[in-house]
């Protein structure tokens, strides 16, 4: 499991210190709980509260799914990572462990290509639902890797959402509590400012699952929530449920622009992947689906693969 402290790069220390008017290396206040500290510091937004406007056939607005959202929302500058992160000492920002970051950075060649690889999938919007055929195929790690690659290497504003109602993991991996979060926001219990947390990783924000005793969001609630979240970020990546293990995946995925199906190499059969794809299409889900090959095995030296790829 990904736990532990992250060794923070010096450039990020200087950046965060400059945001708070401190010199790098100066002492920083220590909060008892990041979540408590986060909720106790309301965002100061100079603009008026987001106004919901009924759409009248406007197809230029940014949507989170293929069919138009019922309402449109204005972008809130205070949700940009640098503005949101500036409210906290850097030691309060949630992060992955140093070991986890090292593992991600070891795959930098693949992560640098994430935006180019998903470009054909996001022509109609920016919300991606990451799923798999079964549990245990590396879906959550793939969602984190996709979000990390877009934020770190493509320098995009990325929101990572935990949409796994049955087995949420992101709050554990980032070291925060599970709520309030996505389910609370969909139910209208909290505002967007209460759930979007900046992480230590530049450009990457996090939304946890929320109160697990709440039921899954209704279609209208999910559509509205994604519309408001997606307008504030370049990409919205949701770690969802597994298609063959939960009906929630088929219920939720159709509200996203595209889907990414994670398969474990040499374990997931092609026939199973085909069944999962058919299930998504029958529910009216996105027609744009991508595949992530996880735990790929090399039977010849990796340098040979690099040489072949250059041909």
- Out of 54-63, 65-74, 103-112, 137-146, give the one with best mean pLDDT: 137-146
Contacts of 265 (CB under 8 A, 6+ apart): 293, 294, 295, 296, 297
Please give the span between the terminal C-alpha atoms of the chain, in angstroms, as a whole number. 39
Provide long-range contacts, Cβ within 8 A and 24+ apart, for 104-111. 104/144, 104/145, 104/148, 107/145, 108/153, 110/145, 110/149, 111/145, 111/148, 111/149, 111/152, 111/153
CA atoms in the 13 A half-sphere facing the CB of 51:
4
Q: How confident is the model at residue 311 (pLDDT cuts 50, 70, 90)?
A: low
Does domain 108-311 match CATH 3.40.50.300?
yes
Alpha carbon distance 199, 127 (integer Å): 19
Q: Mean pLDDT, the chain, as a whole number?
A: 79
pLDDT, average across residues 149-160: 96
Sign of CA dihedral 291, 294, 300, 304: positive
Residue 243 scores a pLDDT above 80: yes
Q: Considering only residues 259 and 17, tell me which one the structure prediction assigns the higher pLDDT.
A: 259
Q: What is the pLDDT of residue 273?
A: 87
* φ, ψ (nearest 5 deg) of residue 204: -105, 120
Q: Is the pLDDT confidence value at 10 over 90?
A: no
HSE-CB for 152 with a 13 A CA cutoff: 21
pLDDT at position 174 over 90: yes
Task: Give pLDDT, residue 90.
Answer: 87
Output the pLDDT for position 45: 43
> Is pLDDT of 18 > 60?
no
* Tokens matching residue 199: 């992480």
Confidence of residue 65 (pLDDT cuts 50, 70, 90): very low
At residue 4, the pLDDT reads 40
Helix and strand element counts for the chain (H, E):
13, 9
The predicted model gives 75-101 an average pLDDT of 91
For strands 197-198 and 204-207, give the pairing. Answer: antiparallel
For 176-215, the pLDDT digits (tens) are 998 899 999 999 999 999 999 999 999 999 999 999 889 8
Question: Which among 244, 202, 250, 199 has a CA at the least distance from the CA of 222?
Answer: 250
- Nearest residue to 285 via CA among 65, 64, 59, 62: 65
Contact partners, residue 46, CB within 8 Å, separation at least 6: none
User: What tens digit of pLDDT does each residue of 259-295 get?
Assistant: 999 988 878 788 888 899 999 989 888 878 998 888 7
pLDDT over 90 for what percent of the chain? 50
- Pick the more confident residue, 232 or 246: 232
Higher pLDDT, 4 or 155: 155
**Does 115 or 308 have the greater pLDDT score?**
115
Section 85-93 average pLDDT: 89
- Measured CA to CA, the distance from residue 15 to residue 217 in angstroms comes to 38
Range 55-64 burial, b when 16+ CB lie within 10 A, else e: eeeeeeebbb
CA 197 to chain centre: 11
- Which pair of tokens denotes residue 21? 């008017």
Residues in CB range of 81: below 8 A, 6 or more apart: 157, 198, 202, 203, 204, 205
């Amino acid at each position: 499991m990904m736990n532990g402290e992250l060794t923070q790069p010096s450039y990020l220390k200087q950046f965060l210190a400059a945001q708070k008017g401190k010199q790098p290396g100066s002492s920083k206040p220590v909060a008892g709980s990041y979540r408590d500290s986060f909720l106790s510091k309301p965002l100061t937004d100079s603009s008026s509260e987001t106004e919901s406007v009924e759409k009248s056939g406007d197809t230029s607005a940014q949507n989170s799914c293929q069919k138009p959202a019922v309402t449109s929302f204005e972008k809130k500058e205070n949700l940009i990572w640098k503005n949101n992160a500036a409210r906290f000492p850097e030691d309060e920002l949630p992060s992955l462990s140093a070991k986890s970051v090292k593992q991600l950075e070891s795959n930098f060649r693949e992560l640098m290509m994430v935006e180019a690889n998903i470009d054909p999938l996001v022509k109609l919007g920016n919300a991606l639902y990451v799923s798999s055929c079964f549990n245990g195929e590396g879906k959550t790690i793939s969602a984190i890797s996709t979000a990390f690659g877009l934020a770190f290497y493509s320098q995009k504003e990325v929101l990572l959402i935990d949409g796994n109602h049955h087995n949420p993991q992101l709050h554990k991996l980032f070291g925060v509590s599970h709520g309030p979060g996505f389910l609370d926001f969909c139910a209208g219990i909290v505002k967007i400012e209460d759930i979007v947390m900046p992480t230590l990783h530049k450009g990457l924000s996090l939304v946890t699952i929320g109160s697990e005793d709440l039921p899954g969001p209704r279609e209208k609630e999910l559509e509205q929530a994604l519309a408001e979240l997606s307008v504030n970020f370049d990409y919205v990546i949701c770690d969802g449920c597994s298609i063959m293990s939960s009906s929630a995946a088929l219920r939720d995925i159709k509200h996203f622009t595209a889907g990414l199906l994670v398969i474990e190499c040499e374990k997931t059969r092609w026939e199973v992947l085909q069944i999962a794809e058919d299930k998504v299409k029958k529910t009216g889900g996105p027609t744009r689906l991508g595949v992530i090959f996880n735990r790929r095995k090399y039977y010849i030296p990796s340098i040979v693969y690099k040489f072949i790829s250059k041909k």
